[in-house]
Chain A
Amino acid sequence: MSSRGDVRTYSGFRAMTMLCLFVLYAPLIIVTIYSFNASRSITVWEGLSLQWYADVFWGPESGKFKQAAINSFTIALIAATMSTAIATSAATAIVRGGRFRLRMASLGLISLPLMVPEIVTAVATLIFFNSIGFTRGYLTILAAHIAFCIPFAYLPIQARMQGIEDTFEQAAQDLYATKAQAFRRVLLPMMMPGIIAGFLLAFIVSLDDFIITNFVKGAGIETLPTAIFGSVKQGIKPNIMAISTMLLVVSIAMVTISYIVGKKDNST
């Protein structure tokens, strides 16, 4: 399908592509490779070994990392679930709610946090929790994550919903379904690929959030990113690379699931 105007015919296209791919992926590849290094050094390769993975699970810091992983995954799971539910309701109201007043304002309010610098959100959230006297800990992290995950969950759901013509709900109602039944039996299954994509995106965003988490977490509670940061401050050890590699695998798995869900939907 190449033609005269094809971008591939531009001079320097190949070099530019290679440079971009290198800058994006070389660090990841190096971290992955060195996570299997047998050496204590993070720069000298001494042979293949799984010792740093073993160190993560059974080493001196394993307790800290295990607790951080449990915190991170439970927070990500709950925050993604809650924010997806909220985003689904919001998308239904905004896409299907007709031309109510403040419709554009609602849309803006939901997507705005994506454009606000995260440090601002972090400081604001911290001040908010302090002013209402909320003790910092697991719950403050969870509440903050639910809030900032909403726009990430919302966008794929809204995109999906806009592609669904309202005749499907009308057809359901025409066939004796109440509005609630039409939503549950027809609209919701049709939105599902968007909802799953929104959930996965929210999950990933929550899992690797550092800035907001670092501000709102209390002393003595860590998520994986803050635990890793804490470790790194005392010098980078190869076990950090092992944890990073595992997180990378989780992310790739999520993206792959999201891709497969989208693919499957297109074929039916």
Chain B
Amino acid sequence: MPDTRNAIDVRNAVKRYGSFTALQSITLSIRDNEFFTLLGPSGCGKTTLLRMIAGFEDVTEGEIFLFGEEIENLPPHQRPVNTVFQNYALFPHMTIEENVMFGLEMRGSSRDAARKKAGEMLELVQLTPFSARKPSQLSGGQQQRVALARALAPQPKVLLLDEPLSALDLKLRQAMRSELKSIQRETGITFTFVTHDQEEALTMSDRIAVMSAGRLQQLGEARDIYERPVNRFVADFIGETNLLDARIEAVDASVATCRLGSGLTLECDAIGNARPGADVHISIRPERMTLAAANGDPWQGTVKENIFVGTDVQTVVQLQGGIALTVRTQNSAAGVATIFDPGTEVAITVEAGAARMLED
């Protein structure tokens, strides 16, 4: 039996279109009152999963539960979940207020009650002065907030958001992130958010499900996913990383000693079935390494170039044996002191625990 405390339980959900499998047996739980994000590149199946929860796509196999109640066979209008659509889908022939009242009236609220609730919702998204306007008279950011108010008004058990920020410009998108997060806290409604933007996912989510090619790759808290990616896809998709090919030399308790192609060795936590002789991939985040003047340590190389990116400087260092590593140094007084001109020989220190062995 599914856990009735979970907002959403997806069990072995499969979606096939003819011979094409869009989703391959997804199982995941979304907890009550959390900000949950489905993250992945386009075509990974994240929107399909969201639309299956909303009821716009049939579930080929498997079940979906909403607080313990099986919903995958209910039509959309019988599911107490609401969606914020990517293009907002505001009804152009209705005023802002009528848009927000729509769901309430369809649920049987009286016109007066719906109007009162719509007023509260428009206040929540700070659009009260616009209630008599038509959607086309509002800016993109304002339309987005109307879509949010409209979907929140009937107090859904889960709010689904399908890339709602993708049409906004950068500044507005950043402002909407914190606004969405605070509205989620204020209303206590479970948010399920779909995005391909890893930064958006990391900044807003309590937990993230990373998807690729119709599969769930990793599910965990934002920091967990970033610091402990399980595979190359996750390590590469979330943030920036250095991916290195290595062979396990020895496994001692939970620590594996790995040899890189160039002969350098490095220690990292052994995972699952790590055994000597196996080829593995290792991920090291660029900000988890520091540079110093060459001191004879084998972990040294030549600075190839420094790329200034505002808050940081990215330094590409060519190690012996041809491996290139990117090191990120914060653009602070202390950081700048460890930046060297191209051509300089430097020593690289990898922080303890920074090297992460990946499953594949």
Contacts and interface: CB of A to CB of B under 8 A. Distances in A.
Interface of A: 165, 167-168, 170-179, 181, 185-186, 189-190, 268
Interface of B: 54-56, 75-77, 81-83, 85, 87, 89-93, 102-103, 106-107, 134, 136, 150-151, 154
B93 A175 contact: no
A51 B216 CA distance: 85
Given A168-B91, A174-B83, 6 more contacts: A174-B103, A174-B151, A175-B154, A181-B106, A186-B91, A268-B93
8 contacts: A165-B87, A167-B89, A171-B83, A175-B106, A175-B151, A177-B77, A181-B106, A186-B91
Given A177-B77, A268-B134, A268-B136, A172 B102 contact: yes
With most chain B CB atoms within 10 A of its CB, the pick from A165, A170, A175, A185 is A175
A177 B154 CA distance: 12
Nearest to A182: B77
With most chain B CB atoms within 10 A of its CB, the pick from A167, A168, A171 is A171
Interface of A is mostly: helix
A101 to B, nearest CB: 16
A185 B54 CA distance: 20
A149 B150 CA distance: 41
A167 B102 contact: no
Contacts of B76: 170, 173-174
Closest 8 CB pairs between A and B?
A175-B103, A171-B89, A176-B106, A167-B89, A173-B76, A189-B93, A177-B106, A174-B83
Given A171-B85, A268-B134, A268-B136, A176 B77 contact: yes
A173 to B, nearest CB: 4
With most chain A CB atoms within 10 A of its CB, the pick from B56, B89, B102 is B89
A42 to B, nearest CB: 50
Contacts of B102: 172, 175, 177, 185
B88 to A, nearest CB: 8
Nearest to A192: B93
A195 to B, nearest CB: 13
A173 B75 contact: yes
Contacts of B54: 170, 174
A170 B87 CA distance: 12
Given A174-B76, A175-B82, A168 B89 contact: yes
Given A171-B83, A268-B136, A176 B89 contact: no
Contacts of A168: 89, 91
B107 A176 contact: yes
Given A175-B150, A178-B77, A190 B103 contact: no
